[in-house]
Structure 1
């Protein structure tokens, strides 16, 4: 969840933003696409553009720089580097390198004998740009053809990585099974290419007792499974470029990452006459219990759960204490923070674990025991303890559901302003305010 500091019992031990673990069992689209296009992993040797040297990519690029003073720009975006190298080797045999490359002079203000010319080969040159685009287009055609073969393939056969179930026929049956039954989704089947290689890569990591997300190695399968479950690591890491080549989106446009493609302005593509959102279906947001990991999609369900399981009635507290909306927000954030820090919110007793404090709350009957309102009705609890706390978005801001307190028809409901005196005091002593005062005095 977050880093903790237990140096002082009374100190606030939340040092980083907290987030509830996200549920991904039924959300295949939540699996990350690979971040950017890279070359396929290969040990293929590449030929030097100027001599007979053959080396692997990184070694050859270093050779070109040190021996021939040549730099190739944006190598990682070249779809087929071997063909790119062969093309320019032929062209450099026909014409001098200065006809194609920008010349960069080093130490231009120093002595002439210490000056060197370096050459930059990049897509500013129209010929190079066309070459890169043609290689990209050919690679895209190859990938789309491969993807179509995999989509139509009915000979797929594989055992699930997480259980002993076998799947034959279309690859989607296995991918959907892992997402549905094991909460492990690598994305929609139609967005994936080279699926066998992808699954082999993941299986190899599991066989080597390696976590699929953080890639730490563990001593046995049981420890690995516990780690991936507790840390919510039953997913792949979007920042791992090893998975780039398995996602179609990375092959679509030359020089663009999937993030750039998805963030493009599509307003010019929208048909305003057909702007009908009536069939839109929003995914329900799950609220998490204040005391355990139980989640519910409606407030009625989560209220019922907390009342029946933990003897905590938030609705009753709201009515008895006449809590306004923002006071409810502060109360929820206060309780969340105390439970996270293994401290009873009612009596402030500190425990070694969350389980211990929950047992204490039940044994002592402290579920509905709140400290003095001044303890939790503080400006610091305006800020959510958990950044994705859906419970805060569904708190009641009216008494419509409390029939006993409902006003007569036509009676105006007074609007009571939130007490912001503490906020004003904080503003006067804030660092920003002091900086502004100092700047004014200096001027």
Structure 2
């Protein structure tokens, strides 16, 4: 589904992409630790991690050992420690492929080199294990940044001060300055990322073409006129700040994005008679109750929480898309620990729900103009099956199919505001600047 756009509704909105309903202490910086020392797997020689090329050169010249695709190893120091232990147990030839050079020349000119690569099952398993551990660390760090409310930073374009969650600044730069580095929830180590960008601007360097200018005014005019208010997607320096680059071993973001499901299609097997679709469960607006039928979830919300969605639809004469916007609005307000009826904010979602129930705000909606907005076309939760089961405005009260025949008038939604919003939205900027960071 499409991603959610930023909006304001009783406060700053921090959602820029759909959430997801759940299925049934890592490092605080992504920078390479220059103090870490990496030891050779075959001798006491060592080098700082920041100068690992020197150690790799030593391996080739002194031990004739070549390690392939070093850049794809998630944790190089731990990789080296593992193989140092294994080489103490068994000889090198038990693990590595042996390559003979100058095989057709004189025997005294021939040399044997040893290749350590992920074709070997043990090496492949080690790389995957390190990659998985790194991914867990990255996701934990990302979650901490999502939940952090102590973030504070000045906008690099207008010097406005922002505090709270990092998304407030990122959304501001995308909305007010047309500068988007991607969706906040796709970014990790955001403070270091922003430090890197600020350092480039302080050095009078364009963020896109990376040319250096004589003063800030010239740089500002250049980035505006050349539409260079974006980062260079081909600069690998930024890769570590995006979660997509940690997802799969040995795959760059280009390969992940270019994967085509058509490659997995077997044209010889077109028999779908045994296909069994997994049932999609709709989730209650107020708790974690799930149901495979819309009738049960509607009944649950009405009997347990006193929320009558059908009643609101009839009372307010809501069209289908208005129901969609209402559900997305309620989902978003509750997710942000806010009462959708009175806009009061709480510390936790549980407190917000308790207030909604205790104060009788379950069926209290703000003015329709508050939630009947284009941004609520986009789902708050990407897998929200409740949206798929909403009855059409021309259906009867039981949610059956619309009446057939040509006498049923269809009125188009007023999309004027949506088109205007789309032109200035973060999504529009992301489509213009397609790359690994969308």
- Tell me the TM-score normalised to structure 1 length: 0.52
Q: Which residue of 2 aligns with 1:252?
A: 247
- Answer whether contact 1:158 1:168 (CA < 8 A) is retained: yes
SS in structure 2 at match of 1:163: coil
Structure 1 residue 84 corresponds to structure 2 residue 79: yes
Q: Which runs of 5+ in 1 are unaligned?
A: 1-24, 30-38, 282-296, 302-387, 389-443
Deviates more, 1:212-221 or 1:134-143: 212-221
Q: Distance in 2 between matches of 1:79 and 1:112?
A: 39
Shift of the alpha carbon at 1:84? 0.2
Shift of the alpha carbon at 1:274? 10
Deviations along 1:314-350, one digit per CA (max 9) or x if unpaired, are xxxxxxxxxxxxxxxxxxxxxxxxxxxxxxxxxxxxx
Change (3 A) 1:121 1:40: farther
Deviations along 1:295-322, one digit per CA (max 9) or x if unpaired, are xx99xx9xxxxxxxxxxxxxxxxxxxxx
Pick 1 or 2: higher relative contact order, CA cutoff 8 A, min separation 6. 2
Q: Which residue of 2 aligns with 1:48?
A: 40
Shift of the alpha carbon at 1:256? 1.1
Q: Distance in 2 between matches of 1:255 and 1:236?
A: 24
Q: Which has the larger radius of gyration?
A: 1
SS in structure 1 at match of 2:208: coil
Change (3 A) 1:253 1:141: same
Change (3 A) 1:229 1:189: same
Deviations along 1:35-83, one digit per CA (max 9) or x if unpaired, are xxxx954433311111111112111111111111111011111000000
Q: Which residue of 2 aligns with 1:121?
A: 116
Show the 5 A alignment for 1:267-278. Answer: none
Q: Which residue of 2 aligns with 1:140?
A: 135
Shift of the alpha carbon at 1:259? 1.9
Deviates more, 1:39-48 or 1:113-122: 39-48
- Answer whether contact 1:49 1:92 (CA < 8 A) is retained: yes
Shift of the alpha carbon at 1:123? 1.1
Q: Distance in 1 between matches of 2:75 and 2:65?
A: 19
Deviations along 1:59-117, one digit per CA (max 9) or x if unpaired, are 11111111111110111110000000011011111111111000000000101000000
- Tell me the TM-score normalised to structure 2 length: 0.53
- Answer whether contact 1:45 1:57 (CA < 8 A) is retained: no
Q: Distance in 2 between matches of 1:239 and 1:45?
A: 30
Match of 1:217 among 209, 212, 217: 212
Shift of the alpha carbon at 1:236? 0.4
Show the 5 A alignment for 1:20-419. Answer: 41-43=32-34, 44-55=36-47, 56-266=51-261
Spell out structure 1 runs of 4+ moving beyond 3 A: 39-42, 265-275
SS in structure 2 at match of 1:253: coil
Shift of the alpha carbon at 1:247? 0.3
- Answer whether contact 1:175 1:189 (CA < 8 A) is retained: yes
Q: Which residue of 2 aligns with 1:8?
A: none
Q: Which runs of 5+ in 2 are unaligned?
A: 1-5, 8-15, 18-29, 266-274, 281-320, 325-373, 375-414, 420-431, 433-438
Change (3 A) 1:232 1:42: farther
Report the count of equivalent residues.
250
Deviations along 1:111-165, one digit per CA (max 9) or x if unpaired, are 1000000000011111111111110010000000000000000011110000121
Q: Distance in 1 between matches of 2:251 and 2:125?
A: 16
SS in structure 1 at match of 2:133: helix
SS in structure 2 at match of 1:88: helix
